[in-house]
Amino acid sequence: MRALRILLIVAVVLGGVLVGTDRLALAYAESEASSRVKLSAVESDSIEVDIKGFPFLTQVAGKRFDEVDVKATGVSATAGSRRVRVGELTMALRDVTVTGDWAGAKAGSASGTALISYADLTAASDREATVAYGENGKVKVTGGVTIMGRTLTRTVLSTVTVVNGDTIRVRADEVPGEGIPGIEELVRERTDFERPIGAIAGMKVEKVEPRPEGLAVSVSGTDIVLAG
């Protein structure tokens, strides 16, 4: 019995050492990845990497990770000749395999959410109007309309949709003065717009949801490339 107790104590101690070593290696790897990883076709101010699964060292040996979470802030995505700023991008990567001599990685699939502030959405609109959170899943767009030499401010509630998987469309549900010849067109010239945002980090835009803190853009994709 005494020998058994000693054996159990040794096993527990060794197990603790191995777990501690595994966690230390994980922390180091996450820190290194956060400073080196780059997302496809975008620039960012900072990236945080959270590697899931245990034990970590066996995943390293196999050069394959079941799940990796990535959070990027200050992302700048390019669509054509224009840039669209994304305040925060969170991604859940699955089936991540290391490519080459640890020079990069590829995720079999990925999903995430890109959060665009209303200030950044206003800048991206390329209109003389401001965009803000509305109500019941809508956004509020305010712009000035010149009628008979007078500039009038008009605010509309607009629906935000996705077009072709890479473009955000903002269109007013109703327009003040709708039905009066020429008025609707003038208002919509200020309040309605489409803005291509491209594939964010290689992922297709699936849907958009106006939230108080900004426009939440759901994205997903396969074979997402991470550069080292």
| 165-186 residue pLDDT tens | 888 899 998 887 656 667 778 8
- Percent of the chain scoring above 70 in pLDDT: 68
Comparing 111 with 44, which gets the higher pLDDT? 111
Which of the residue ranges 34-43, 106-115, 176-185 would you say has the lowest mean pLDDT? 34-43
Q: What is the DSSP letter of 173?
A: S
| Cβ-contact 51, 30 below 8 angstroms | yes
What is the distance between the alpha carbons of residues 121 and 177, in angstroms, rounded to a whole number?
A: 26
Q: What is the mean pLDDT of residues 11-19?
A: 41
| Cβ-contact 217, 205 below 8 angstroms | yes
Q: What is the mean pLDDT of residues 113-137?
A: 85
Q: Which residues lie below 8 Å from residue 147, measured CB to CB, with a gap of 6+?
A: 183, 186
| Cβ-contact 209, 161 below 8 angstroms | no
Cis peptide before 210 (omega within 30 of 0): no
CB atoms within 10 A of CB 10: 10
Provide the pLDDT for residue 139.
Answer: 93
* Cα within 13 Å of Cα(186), Cβ side: 18
| Cβ-contact 107, 224 below 8 angstroms | yes
Using only C-alpha atoms, the chain has a radius of gyration, in whole angstroms, of 25
